[in-house]
């Protein structure tokens, strides 16, 4: 199909170029929306400082364990066992509901 010499094809018209520019803008906008977390990362939140009775008790109980581990007085297995015992003692003293060892306080126990 050959066009007549005085008539331009639609794809050569300004309307087609405007449609292509619109498609490009929509595609770029969609790509920016999908990757908005990569383009504008959220500011890091400071770590929550918990200062409840359980946290204080466990922090005080874990400090000597960490010190003994650093001095090589005890091994990793013993340190893990001592931390579990300190956690159980702190949960019992503060009345915090227990969960699996190492879980944050307040979780329901594992069944």
Query: Each residue of 37-85: pLDDT tens digit?
Result: 888 888 877 665 666 888 888 889 999 999 999 999 999 999 999 999 9
**Domain assignment present for 73:** yes
**Domain assignment present for 43:** no
**Domain assignment present for 64:** yes
Residue 34 has pLDDT above 70, yes or no: yes
State the average pLDDT over residues 27-45: 89
**Domain assignment present for 80:** yes
Structural domain span for residue 75: 53-94
DSSP the chain: ----TT---GGGSHHHHHHHHHHHHHHHHHHHHHTHHHHSPPPPPPPP---SHHHHHHHHHHHHHHHHHHTTSS-HHHHHHHHHHHHHHHHHHHTPPP-STTPPTTPPPP-
Give me the number of domains the chain comprises.
Answer: 1
User: What band does 111 get if pLDDT is binned at 50, 70 and 90?
Assistant: very low
CB neighbourhood size of 96 (10 A): 20
Q: How far is CA 6 from the centre of its chain?
A: 63
**Domain assignment present for 30:** no
pTM for this prediction:
0.45
**Domain assignment present for 18:** no
Mean pLDDT of the chain: 82
Asked if 49 and 59 touch (Cβ cutoff 8 Å), the reply is no
């Amino acid at each position: 199909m050959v066009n007549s010499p005085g008539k331009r094809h639609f794809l050569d018209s300004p309307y087609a170029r405007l449609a292509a520019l619109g498609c490009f803008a929509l595609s770029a906008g969609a790509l920016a929306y999908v990757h908005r977390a990569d383009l504008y990362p959220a500011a890091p939140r400071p770590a929550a400082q918990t200062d409840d009775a359980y946290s204080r008790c466990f922090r005080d109980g874990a400090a000597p364990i960490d010190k003994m581990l650093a001095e090589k007085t005890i091994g990793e297995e013993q340190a893990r066992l001592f931390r579990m015992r300190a956690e159980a003692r702190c949960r019992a003293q503060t009345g915090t509901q227990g969960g699996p060892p190492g879980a944050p306080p307040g979780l329901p126990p594992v069944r």
